[in-house]
Amino acid sequence: MPMLPRGPSSGWTTWPTSYVSASPDSPGQGWLIGKVLRGKRVQGLIRYLYGPGRHGEHRDPHIVAGFRSPADLEPSMTTDGSRDFRRLDGLLTQPLALLGDRNYHKPVWHLSVRSAPDDPVLTDQQWAEIAGEMMSRTGLAPDGDLDAVRWIAVRHAHDHVHIVATLARTDGTRPEVWNDGYRVRDACRAVEERYGLRRTAPADRTASRRPKRGEQEKAMRVGRDEPVRSTLRRRVATAAAGARTEDEFFTALREDGVLVRLRFSARTAGQVTGYAVALPDDLAPSGGPIWFGGGKLAGDLTLPSLRRRWTPRPVSRSLSGQNLSARTIRAVLRTTVRRVADEAQTVDDFLRRLGEEGFLVRSRFSQTRPDQVTGYAVALPDDQGGDEGAVWFSGGRLADDLTLPRLCRRWSTTSAGKSSSASTDDGLTAEERQAFYDDAARAAAFATAQIRRHMATAPHAAQDACWAASDVLHVAAKATGNRHLRRAADSYERAARAPWGRITRPSPAGNTLRGAARLLKLAGAHDRNTLSILLLVSHLLALLDTVANLRQLQQRQAQAEAARRAARHLSPLVAGPDRHRAPWLGSAAEVPSSFQPAQHDFPAPWAPAPFGGGAPPQPRTTPARPRTVKHSPPR
């Protein structure tokens, strides 16, 4: 990264650089780098560019291009061997006097452009053409515009050049710099093709906001593993993945130890228009927390973008019972009904809340008093939100304490002044947790098959599944506490996003993956069956490989590489030479012997318990008998 001016008089800040995708560990990305900064004083910047640099890295600084010929703009040498910058300072700052109070708050525009280490060394003439291309494409100094802004390009190293401009035209108007970073990115790609440099990703707004250098240095100073921006982005993405509503999202953030600040509309009282998050121990010099808006973390984490995930998708907001096992359906219904019963106070409130959860609800009425509800039954809807083939469970079939008469007695004691304690234990058994992971693995396999089918016919139809795969990775990483899953989720984020922040229509594969993410959230961090986790990981590996192939087919190199990096992070969990073959199907008991779990990568509570000193149970070789689900009326 180019060295940036420092000192109390420089007043430099980095302008929004979401288009910058450079990273030392991101092969094939980030070169040619074009990074825009804005400052207040041009004098300090020029002296820095002609100075020795922080570590003596500046060699032979000279102007290679500008609004006039380089020879006419080059600062003259004084008798003592120093440079006289007064004339150059006056030429660059003169147009600012014409604007007066209409100047930008930071009127100095600074663009540093760097080539890759393995790119050929460019000549002064080539760098001059690159600088002219940048100024022309940004609209600051188009070809033939005599009233354009004044600018210079200084080269003091073989691999980069600094372009400095003052944001004032000589005709007394102010140039437009909105979205200049995206135009710089387009100019970089044009230059890469012209000079045969390493190709980079387009500015399609699929990259997350990278932490600034100050944030990285602060993280190292205080002993953090990563900058706070990265930590918050992961926690916000995980909360959004497991939430179905806005209230659930903010509740999940607070439960995860994140401070939340809401922004309200100035026109409509009580209307929330945005949010910001912070960590309690990340403090500013003033002593208050350092806040990050959702848009400062990633483009798809703004509140309007999150609302588009939830509001227009009534079907995808609830789990679908079509692709779940009967054991999973019963566990999901029981845990949710118990939570709703703890929050409700009356029968009508209870039934209404069940409907808001996305459940299908049937009420049984008294034969003597038709307006009195005496029982209920619930079911999960199918993929279309209907009840075709739904598996119904009455309260008594879910648990003895969930029958309507017992719930009514509990609510009556609460209204009499006794407090009702909410359940702290979800009541899931080990078999039910394993069923959650097995169903999540089947959801990943189904999504993989759907994406492969769309690759040959309509690749754009697979976007929703690619996006939902990020939800599964984030929630699985939090539920298991595995560092490989966490790194895979972070690396995959760019591969999940649609270009230019588009929100795609829901699809069956995407809805199935989102349902899998909610299953993993319900399973929580109490799973002790490592094989169930690794079965899920094997299907996620196949899913990531398929997404990488899809992005390659769409000629989105940066997103394809992001999916490949995510798959590489998961590879240590699966030992064996045949990792890239299609994963097996079936239950966790059918894991082949060549599949060796990397148990040391999981926290101790999730390691499988010993089998009481005896031999482990053998997998069943005979096919299981088909199970018939009895549809009983509510009682």
Q: First CA to last CA across the chain, in angstroms?
A: 69
Tokens of 626: 């088909």
**Residue 69 burial class via C-beta count within 10 angstroms: exposed 0-12, middle 13-18, buried 19 and up:** exposed
**Chain mean pLDDT for the chain:** 80
Q: What is the pLDDT of residues 290-337, one digit of tens each?
A: 999 999 998 889 999 888 877 654 444 557 767 788 899 999 999 999
More confident residue, 604 or 472: 472
pLDDT for residue 415:
56
CB neighbours of residue 395 within 10 Å: 24
| H or E element at residue 128 | helix 124-137
Most confident of 21-35, 192-206, 582-596: 192-206
Contacts of residue 435, defined as CB under 8 A and 6 or more positions apart, other chains included, come to 325, 327, 328, 331
> 28: alpha, beta or left, given left = phi > 0 and alpha = psi -120 to 50?
left
User: What gap in Å lies between CA 47 and CA 26, rounded to an integer?
Assistant: 33
Global pTM exceeds 0.75:
no
Q: What is the pLDDT of residues 595-624, one digit of tens each?
A: 344 433 444 333 333 333 334 344 444 444
Say what the pLDDT of residue 617 is: 40
Alpha helix positions (H), 459-556: 463-480, 483-496, 508-523, 530-553
Tokens 């998050």: give the residue: 277
Using DSSP, state whether 629 is helix, strand or coil.
coil
Provide Rg for the chain, Cα atoms: 30
What number is the average pLDDT over the span 585-597?
37
Place of tokens 């894991």: 591
DSSP states of 465-486: HHHHHHHHHHHHHHHH--HHHH
Query: What percent of the chain lies above the pLDDT cut of 70?
Result: 78
Q: Could you read off the pLDDT of 352-380 as tens digits, one per residue?
A: 999 888 889 999 998 888 888 999 999 98
CA distance 510 to 443: 9
Q: How far apart are CA 283 and CA 286, in angstroms?
A: 8
Q: Are 208 and 24 in contact (CB under 8 A)?
A: no
pLDDT at site 11: 46
